[in-house]
Amino acid sequence: MKRKLQALRQRFFGGDILNRTQKRLTFYNSGLLMVLLILFAIIVYLLLYSVMAIQEKQNLQNLINQTLVYQGEVQSKHGNQQDDPLMAVNEDLFFYAIVDSSGNELAGNARMRPLQRSISASIRGWIPKEGETKSAQFTVPHPSGMGGMHRHKEQMKDHQVHLLLSGQPIYQGGRHVGVVYVGIDQTAHKRLFEVLLWILANVVLSFYLVAFWVSHMMAKKAMGPVQESFLRQREFVADASHELRTPLSVLHTSLEVLELEEEEKLTDYSRQVIDDMKDEVKRMTNLVGDLLTLARMDSGKADVILTQLDIGPFAEQIVRSIQPVAAQKGIQVNAQLLPSLQVVGDAEKLKQLFYILLENAIKYTPENGKITIVLETRDKRWQLRVKDSGIGIQPEDKQKIFERFFRVEKHRSRQMGGTGLGLSIARWIVSAHKGEILVKSKYGKGSEFIVTIPLSLKEATTG
């Protein structure tokens, strides 16, 4: 489920930074309009519902007053629905009852005779306070007997009647002598509000689709100048990076020639200056290479060539190559690698991924620290875990470490030669292989980077 959600998120928010920004603008703007439309629909619905509720309560109070006025007359007409004065003068009245203090019904009537007992039973013992109402639902059985074979199917079904009931105690000389109850039929009103709710929902949905399309067009138009500027900047970075590689190579070679030819004439200070220059040239060469990689990534020209390969041997070779660097800091490297592991991937990109994670671990692990490298398979996927005992990452920085040029501790990163581009490139390589990269870290106790990539193209497309 988690992988499907990630795939869905990648589908909607994937692509380069401009496409992601445009999609986010579209969703955010249309989402805001959706919220406003929903609030508008809710306000309209509640406003109409409140007006209807107030009118129903006023109607109930009027019916109570009429029942009190006709109290003597309705008691004398008890049981005769056709001659009932209250039923005759007020079509809104569905039910009424007059009950004495002992709970005996003195008078009562309902427009549907089968419901009279059910309604009386539901209000028995209820002494309503002023303005108090009670909603009740009753089932009316379908009529039986005459014309059963010719009766419409809908008339054969039981139907529900929704009543709103209220009442008022009766006092004579300050003594409670009974309660008068009245009820009105809310069935039509409830159906009306159900239809209104359905209409409002469809109106909101229709307007949201229109708003989504408008937001998409506005975001696309707004991102036009930004995209043009970004393309020019990207082309400049790519061209500049490409042009800088040659002079940097020449400069590095010249320094080595100068060191060889003038070795005997160089003072210790001059040798140190040349070594520092070589280190800076090497750092600039790495930076230019990373910038060129990022520029190709942004332009879509950084092709990933997927082939069947065995990453076991070259993982061992990479670990051996970083052993001397780790040994200079007294770092213990513990490697748990599979001797052979057939996967589908780009060999050069995967090697770059290994080097980025291992060099990053060495860079941020103090002297006499420890690095653990694990290469294994899990559920049709292969997993690389690089764990160090370094400085760790602050919780608020975990979401930022894969951003370009972000460094956890900038002053230490400069001293160590960090550019803040390695993890961004690593995330792109993993994403290009349909995998995911996660980081677990406790500040001051080290970090663990976990890379999970499908073993085959089939798993990459269906996972």
Per-position DSSP letters for 111-169, written without gaps between them: SSHHHHHHHHHHHTT----TT-EEEEEEEEPPP-STTTTTS-GGGGS-EEEEEEEEEEE
At 66 the pLDDT is 84
Structural domain harbouring 363: 304-462
Distance between CA atoms of residues 432 and 284, nearest Å? 26
Residues whose CB is less than 8 angstroms from the CB of residue 403 and which lie 6 or more positions away in sequence, other chains included: 424
As a whole number, mean pLDDT of residues 189-197 equals 90
Distance between CA atoms of residues 329 and 365, nearest Å? 9
166 assigned to some structural domain: no
pLDDT single digits (tens) 250-306: 787 888 887 777 777 778 888 888 888 887 887 777 777 767 776 666 666 567 788
pTM tops 0.75: no
**pLDDT averaged over every residue in the chain:** 80
* Window from 124-128, 288-292, 450-454 with minimum mean pLDDT: 288-292
pLDDT at 81 over 80: no
Specify the pairing of strand 159-172 against strand 307-310. Answer: unpaired
- Of the spans 187-201, 231-245, 417-431, 449-463, which averages the highest pLDDT? 187-201
Distance between CA atoms of residues 178 and 170, nearest Å? 5
Q: Which residue, 337, 361, 383, is CA-closest to 446?
A: 361
At 72 the pLDDT is 62
Distance between CA atoms of residues 78 and 106, nearest Å? 8
More confident residue, 358 or 74: 358
pLDDT at 87 over 90: no
Distance between CA atoms of residues 188 and 293, nearest Å? 69
Tokens 């080290």: give the residue: 446
| Residue 334 pLDDT level (bands cut at 50, 70, 90) | very high
* E strand or H helix that includes residue 384: strand 381-388
User: Residue 107 CB: number of other CB atoms within 10 A?
Assistant: 22
At 195 the pLDDT is 92
259 assigned to some structural domain: no
17 assigned to some structural domain: no
Domain count for the chain: 1
72 assigned to some structural domain: no
pLDDT at 143 over 70: no
More confident residue, 14 or 130: 130
31 assigned to some structural domain: no
283 assigned to some structural domain: no
Phi, psi at residue 418, to the nearest 5°?
Answer: -80, 145
131 assigned to some structural domain: no
- Give the CATH number for residue 345: 3.30.565.10
pLDDT at 80 over 60: no
At 1 the pLDDT is 54
* Window from 54-68, 139-153, 279-293, 313-327 with minimum mean pLDDT: 139-153
pLDDT single digits (tens) 411-427: 454 455 556 678 888 88
441 assigned to some structural domain: yes
